[in-house]
Structures are given as structure tokens and as C-alpha cells.
Amino acid sequence: MGESVEFASNGSTAGGYLAVPASGSGPGLIVIQEWWGVSQSLKDVCDRLAGEGFVALAPDLYHGELADPEHQEMDKAAALMNAMPAERAGKDMSGAVDYLVAHDATTGDGVGVVGFCMGGMLTFLIAANRGDKVKAAVPFYGYPSGDGEPDWSGLTAVVRGHMAENDDFFGPEGAHALEAKLQGLGKDVTLTVHPGTGHAFMGPHNALGTLDAERAEQIWPQVFAFLHEQLG
């Protein structure tokens, strides 16, 4: 359903995967990768979102590099994530926002962001840094903390996050603390911790053995409805 695209970023170009609904237009969504990269499972998520009426773009923050979740290349994924230049990733995401807002298929003057794991954390960052265009955010089992937190004054998006109860990477205590902090700043943020779930419980590749397919199929319709409510 989707295709590879290029867009302006950081004085050069970046790439990504774009899926457009059969109707030819819809609200724009940036889809931020897990630490694997723009894997087939992430492309499948974009295609599913397009099937629900969204124009979905997954920017390739690794610039062509990829770790295979099907073969559980976790060491390679960790190396790619750690080697990813944070400034470049930020500019790539910002470039993706501008590209998607301006795309002929995108309706409205803003976009939503959905991200998983590392992408969940990055969802918060791009929402805070591009409050002029990011209207809604759905981070999954990932969030910034400590020195990694952005300047929250720019966050204007409505945030509805989904976190795991049993998560050694992004624990529920940190999610509750961040939710309380952002609500205290007057932000419209709700981070739901789903009982009995583990990190990456939405991931169809099930690389960690934590897939909760039943829970995922309960959550996805809520996500679609929320994003349509916020974006049109």
C-alpha cells in the first residue's frame, strides 16, 4: 500500500515510508520507529493506519540501517539506537512534519504522532518541539526522563499514551510521575498503564515474547477514534 519517499531535512534529505488511504486523502500521522528501524512491522502499522483513513509517514531515523525484529537482532538494534545522532533525528522528525503537512493528500493544518518504544519517547520530544503543528500524540511504552526531557512549554498536543506495567525500559512509576508533572503544567496528558502487560506488548513481531494481541486489538480502535477526534 505504501511507498518510499524523500523529504528535505537538515540541509539535505531524509527518507521514509508513506501510506495513503484509498480515498486519496486524510489527516496526517507521523509514525516513529522502535529501535529496530523502519521494519516491515512498522510499515504494516502505517498501512493499517492508512486503512483507517490516515496519511501515515514513518521517517527513517537510521537512514537505511535496520535491525531485524523477526530474528531478534537486539544487539544491532541497541547499537543503532545508541549511534543515532539525536540532533539529526530531531531535524528528521521536524522535516517529516513539514513534509506531511504540505503533502497534497494531507487534510488539516496539523498532524498527529504515534510512536513505539524509542519512538514513544521521541513522540514526546517532537510534540514538545513542534507544538505549532503536532496536534495529537500517542506514545506507546516510551517517554523521556531526567536530562532527556524537553522544554515542555511548547507542548500543545493532546497526549494519550499507553504504557506497560512490567517494563524494565520505561517503568510505570516514571510514566505516572511524568503524567502528574505535565498535568501540573496544565497539559492535556493521560498515560494509561495497562495491567499485566510487558514492554512492546503491541509489537506484532513479538521479539520480546510480550505480545498481547487481544489487548492490542482493544487499544487500536481507541487510538483511531482519538486521532480522528483530534485531527478530523
DSSP letters for 141-173: S----GGG---GGG--SEEEEEEEEE-SSS-HH
The sign of the dihedral angle between the CA atoms of 142, 143, 146, 151 is positive
Q: Which three cell numbers stand for residue 132?
A: 505549532
| Residue appearing with cell numbers 524494565 | 168
CATH of 3-231, one of 3.40.50.2000, 3.60.60.10, 3.40.50.1820, 2.40.30.10: 3.40.50.1820
Rounded Cα distance, 156 and 130, in Å: 9
What's the pLDDT score for residue 17? Answer: 98
* Phi, psi at 73, each rounded to 5°: -80, 65
Residue 123: which of 108, 106, 136 has the closest Cα?
136
**R_g (Cα) of the chain, nearest Å:** 16
What's the pLDDT score for residue 55? Answer: 98
Rounded Cα distance, 203 and 87, in Å: 27
How many residues belong to the chain?
A: 232
Query: Residue 62 in contact with residue 37, Cβ under 8 Å?
Result: yes
What's the pLDDT score for residue 71? Answer: 81
Query: What is the number of other CB atoms lying within 10 angstroms of the CB of residue 91?
Result: 17
**pTM of the shown model:** 0.98
Q: What is the DSSP letter of 211?
A: -
Question: In sequence order, which residues have a C-beta less than 8 Å from that of residue 161 and are 6 or more positions away?
Answer: 120, 137, 138, 139, 140, 143, 175, 179, 189, 190, 191, 192
From residue 27, give the alpha-carbon distance in Å to each of 15, 54, 55, 129, 159.
Answer: 20, 5, 6, 20, 17
What's the pLDDT score for residue 70? Answer: 84
Strand 26-32 versus strand 55-59 pairing type: parallel
Q: For each of the chain's 232 residues, which pLDDT tens digit applies?
A: 799 999 999 899 999 999 999 999 999 999 999 999 999 999 999 999 999 999 999 999 999 999 998 888 999 999 999 999 999 999 999 999 999 999 999 999 999 999 999 999 999 999 999 999 999 999 999 999 999 999 999 999 999 999 999 999 999 999 999 999 999 999 999 999 999 999 999 999 999 999 999 999 999 999 999 999 999 9
Helix (H, G, I), strand (E, B) or coil at 118: helix
What's the pLDDT score for residue 1? Answer: 74
